Amino acid sequence: MPLFHDEDQETLADTVAPFMADRAPVSHLRKLRDADDPAGFSRDLWREFGEMGFTGVLVDETDGGLGMGHVEAGIVLEEIGRNLTPSPFIGTAVGAVEALRLADPALKEAWLPGIVSGETVAALALDEAARHRPQRVALKAERQGNGFRLTGAKQFVPFGHEADLLLVSARTAGGPCDEDGVTLFALPRSHPGITAQAERLADSSLAARIDLDGVDVDGSMVIGDIDDGRAVLNRVLSAVRTGASAEMVGVAGGASTMTLDYIKQRKQFGRIIGSYQALQHRAAHLYAEMEVARAATLKAQQSLDAGSESATRDASVAKAMAGMASGLAVREAVQMHGGIGMTDEYDVGFFMKRQRVLAELYGDADFHADRLARMEGY
């Protein structure tokens, strides 16, 4: 498959781009932030995502979705990134849908229709410490009759306070650092014993700290194999890492479009500042980094869609590369804007803050470079 969008994918992009720019531009985020909106995103917009088919992009057609792939999900995410649209898309339409693929029919039936229609929000509850270490799971799931009792805490769960469905990794065997012995659960957040405390992050999005205080669940809420949730967890992680990469490509694109526009009109010393070589070379270097990040991201999307063995590695390469390139994009954006880039009134700072959150989400560039090194045996 050639490493560029085919005609259908270009058509999809031509649909998504004006929709997102019209319905949820940066001013939409600003409005939610200024109102201190307790949800942190718009449920109405989420339903519109459902009407447009976006939330079901990865859901099989037999389950009511569009039956498309990660390339197409990435097209939606790139526009979400470009417009800084607050949305539970990655956790729900990518993470939860990817997990539910491997779930029993009853679980699919319980959750997929709501996701497809844009009624249901899902969140991934995987991290337990400030740094992403998904294999380190201390949250316990002890066997109780036919089910389990879950006790422990998770953090950095985007939209966890608003989610209807929580996907929780829990320890069913072994010690906190063991690779094996982890099981993935799909829990309704309304289940007794679950509390979610929303924390406002730097980018004004909300991520929850979640406590599970002896939550009783039955075996039907397990996704994948008991004690061997690593397989499904890795699959979900590769998908959301690739998704976050696409969103970062969009954030970088949005920030650098603003910046290029600015340096093409701002004058100092009687000249357009974009005519100075000092800025031109930095802008051109950034362009190269962004192109490479875009290629790595598309590669990871295609590998996921093809079920390729290299998908795990490609996802780490994409997350690291997109993290580095988009980080450079937002830093250059603020610097090249000068003083105005430091003001809250101007939008460019929002891009810097969003990029920082996305870079951290599901592992930053350091995490993924280290992971790549382990995979390659050094």
Partner 1 sequence: MADSAAADDLEDFRRDARAWLENSCPPEMRTPMRSEKDICWGGRKFTFASDAQKQWLEVMAGRGWTVPDWPAEYGGGGLSPAETKVLRQEMAALGCRVPLQSFGISMLGPALLKYGTEEQKQEHLPKIVRGEIRWCQGYSEPNAGSDLASLATSAEDKGDHYLVNGQKVWTSYADEADWIFCLTRTDASQKQGGITFLLFDMESQGVSTRPIRLISGASPFCETFFDDVKVPKDQVLGEVNDGWSVAKYLLGHEREMISGMGGRSQGPSLSDFALGKLGADEQGRLDDPVLRARIAMHEVRSHAFAAMSERFMDQLKAGKIHPAQPSMMKYYGTELNKDRHELLMAAGGSDALEWESEGSGEGKAARAWLRTKANSIEGGTSEIQLNIIAKRILELPEG
Give me the residues that bind partner 1 (CB under 8 A), please: 2-4, 260, 263-264, 271-272, 274-277, 279-281, 283-285, 287-288, 291-293, 295-296, 298-299, 313-314, 317-318, 320-321, 324, 365-366, 368-370, 372-374, 376-378
Q: How far is the CB of 302 from partner 1 (least distance, A)?
A: 9
Pick 169 or 312: Cβ nearer partner 1: 312
Torsion angle, alpha carbons of 206, 207, 212, 213, to 10? -50
Pick 206 or 322: Cβ nearer partner 1: 322
Q: How far is the CB of 289 from partner 1 (least distance, A)?
A: 8
Cβ atoms within 10 Å of 172's Cβ, excluding its own? 21
Pick 32 or 279: Cβ nearer partner 1: 279
Distance, CA of 337 to CA of 262 (rounded, Å)? 7
Cα 302 to Cα 70, 86, 233, 322, distances in angstroms: 7, 26, 19, 16
Alpha helix ranges (H) inside the chain: 7-23, 26-34, 43-52, 70-83, 89, 97-100, 105-117, 230-263, 277-306, 311-337, 348-360, 365-375
DSSP 34-67: HTT-SSSS-HHHHHHHHHHTGGGTTS-GGGTS--
φ and ψ at residue 168, rounded to 5 degrees: -120, 125
Distance, CA of 5 to CA of 352 (rounded, Å)? 28
Residue found by looking up tokens 């008991």 in the block: 226
Q: How far is the CB of 321 from partner 1 (least distance, A)?
A: 4
Q: How far is the CB of 286 from partner 1 (least distance, A)?
A: 9
Pick 22 or 378: Cβ nearer partner 1: 378
Pick 56 or 274: Cβ nearer partner 1: 274
Pick 226 or 372: Cβ nearer partner 1: 372
Q: Count how many Cα atoms sit within 13 Å of the Cα of residue 256 in the half-sphere of its side chain.
A: 24
Pick 120 or 316: Cβ nearer partner 1: 316
